[in-house]
Amino acid sequence: MGGQQHMTGIASRSSIEPRASVIVPAYNEEATIGRLLDALLDTAPDIEICVACNGCRDETEDICRAYAPRVRVFVQDHASKVDALNMALRKSLGAVKVIVDADILIGARDVERLCELAERPGVDVVQPRLHYHAEDSDFAVRAYLRAWVRHPYFRTKIGAAYALSPAGVSRLGTFPQIVAEDEYVRRKLYDGALWTEDAKAHVYMPTTLWALIRIRSRSLSGAESLEHILGHLEPPPVPGFKPAFLRMLFGGAPVAAAVYAFVAAAARLRSRLRRGRQTWERDGTSRGPGQVARRAG
């Protein structure tokens, strides 16, 4: 396993008082977790790396323990991302918390830059630029992505990887029992949010159109449940997508616009049909061994 190659010469790091903590919630991530941890190992010694395994039934926990002492592993026996995040927020030692999804990729220098920006006065949360990959995705997913990155929401999104300042951690408090935890952070901390081009994170798109619809449906259901649970947290104002959509539809990207409209309609229908079933659904297509191996290479 990748972690065992990095054991020598790092034992002293565990005795350094952490200034920041990277928190990786992980549920059955054996295909991707090693790739991410390998990328994080070169972070400064005062940035600890914590994996919060929740309900894992595969080799995720064993893979992560092979990176000790550089990586700390927290374990809970049930699958719940928000419970894993709350556990890791309590147990991690750094004042700045960098939350990273297990299936993305972010480098050590990017994490360090997020930490530096999160230490600035008045900042609650720092969001790096998200670089979406669709090389392994089918034509429809790639077309959807071309439209999605033009959506005004894309420029104000918080998710995949972000850093919470000490003030942001305090303002955020404990995650409630929701599935839209990224949107919860966005709404709670929007007035203290900083979006930066100085750090980036790599996000891998679903490989099939059906997987994409399922993920979009989950996002819509999560946002809807957030409205019911936390109605006082109004969504931040975002310019409408209609002008950009019409320019694509009648301009240079009609296929991308059509696919986007189809996915949006299909996801909305599926979300309505599944109303009341707040379950966690994730994309398994982008976690396949073949895709992960090509990205690691």
pLDDT digits (tens, 9 = 90+) for 203-222: 999 999 999 999 999 888 88
> Is residue 2 situated within a structural domain?
no
Q: What angle do CA 287, 291, 292 make, to 5 degrees?
A: 70
Summarize the confidence of residues 174-193 as an average pLDDT: 93
Give residue 219's identity as a one-letter amino acid code. S
Residue 289 lies in a domain: no
Q: What is the per-residue pLDDT for 291?
A: 47
Q: Does residue 221 belong to any structural domain of this protein?
A: yes
pLDDT of residue 277: 56
Q: Are 30 and 66 in contact (CB under 8 A)?
A: no
Give the pLDDT of residue 135: 96
What are the phi and psi torsion angles at 60 (to 5°)?
-55, -50
Phi, then psi, of 109 in degrees rounded to 5: -65, -35
Q: What does the pLDDT read at residue 286?
A: 65
Query: Does 40 reside within a domain?
Result: yes
133 part of a folded domain: yes
Number of domains in the chain: 1
Contact call for residues 97 and 19 (beta carbons, < 8 A):
no
Q: What angle do CA 233, 239, 241 make, to 5 degrees?
A: 115
Q: What's the pLDDT at 239? A: 87
Residues 6+ apart with CB under 8 A from 161: 98, 99, 100, 101, 104, 106, 114, 127, 128, 130, 201
> Domain containing 233 — which CATH number?
3.90.550.10
Range of the domain at 71: 20-276
Q: Is residue 286 part of a domain?
A: no
Q: What is the pLDDT of residue 152?
A: 93
Residue 291 in any domain: the answer is: no
pLDDT in tens, 114-133: 999 999 999 999 999 999 99
Residue 225 lies in a domain: yes
